[in-house]
Amino acid sequence: MSELRKIFEESITRESMKWENYFEIYERHIRRFVGSNPTVLEIGVYAGGSLQMWRRYLGDDAIIVGMDTDPRCAEMRSEGFDIFIGEQGNKDHLQQIIDRYGSFDIVIDDGSHKTSDLKASFEKLFPHVTENGVYLVEDIHTNYWAKHEGGYKNPGTFIEMMKSTVDHLNAFHSRDPNSFRPNFLTHTVNGLHFYDSVVVLEKRTREAPFQQVTVNTQKE
């Protein structure tokens, strides 16, 4: 059992529910922050179990911020978490959090799962993710559900936005500059990972052109 799953199952005292494939994904993308006192924003606090999990995993000096619409979540302040009561789709609410912390090493979006909210939060927050930081969106399968403003291949969804980000990852190599040009995401997304129900973006500044590395040209 992974360390994080063990923490989740054995040491948190508040309710939380995670799909079991999430633990491997978290460990793969978040383990490197252990001991580095990262600043974390989790959208979607609910009963607080996952905030506790991040505290136990990332350490007492990590700054862990939660955002939720439910005022009852403010109770988690008594455990040392910073809690903002607000709407993840409201850019003024997000700006208040940005003004307070400046930037985040890790953003986890586990809030409303509505596609308009996912996009609003991503557009506002991703520019404030630190160099080498991570932006992780959970339960992305809801993008295929009408109830969450989704639908298969619905062009307005967050998952479709992420699919076109795959193109923008490669846009420095475009030979079609009129229709396909590097954008902000080309310059800032170093890796984009798709899993069942989870999307992870790894942020790192990138500039074109890349140097190709050639070796052993004379080798027989």
H/E segment holding residue 25? helix 22-30
The gap from C-alpha 201 to its chain's centroid, in whole angstroms, comes to 6
Using CB under 6 A as the criterion, what x/- string covers residues 95-134 for binding ligand SAM? ---------------xxx----x-----------------
Give the count of residues interacting with ligand SAM (CB under 6 A): 19
- CB under 6 A: which stretch of 55-63, 84-92, 94-102, 168-176 binds ligand SAM? 84-92
Closest CA to 119 of 151, 158, 90: 158
Position among 88, 115, 142, 157 found at the interface with ligand SAM (CB under 6 A): 88
Using CB under 6 A as the criterion, what x/- string covers residues 164-203 for binding ligand SAM? ----------------------------------------
Which one of 113, 128, 173, 193 is the catalytic residue?
A: 113
Strand-pair category, 104-109 with 63-68: unpaired
142 binds ligand SAM (CB under 6 A): no
Position among 26, 29, 30, 44 found at the interface with ligand SAM (CB under 6 A): 44
Spatial distance between the Cα atoms of 106 and 103, rounded to a whole number of angstroms: 9
Using CB under 6 A as the criterion, what x/- string covers residues 54-83 for binding ligand SAM? -------------xxxx-------------
SS3 176: coil
Position among 34, 49, 63, 192 found at the interface with ligand SAM (CB under 6 A): 49
State the burial class of residue 63 (Cβ atoms within 10 Å of its Cβ: 0-12, 13-18, 19+).
Answer: middle
By the 8 A CB rule, do 127 and 135 touch?
A: no
Closest CA to 110 of 135, 85, 138, 133: 138
Strand order, beta sheet including 63-68: 82-85, 63-68, 39-43, 104-109, 129-137, 198-203, 189-195
Please confirm, yes or no, whether 113 is among the known catalytic residues.
yes
Tell me which residues are annotated as active site: 113
| Chain contacts with ligand SAM (rule: CB under 6 A) | 16, 42-46, 49-50, 67-70, 87-89, 110-112, 117
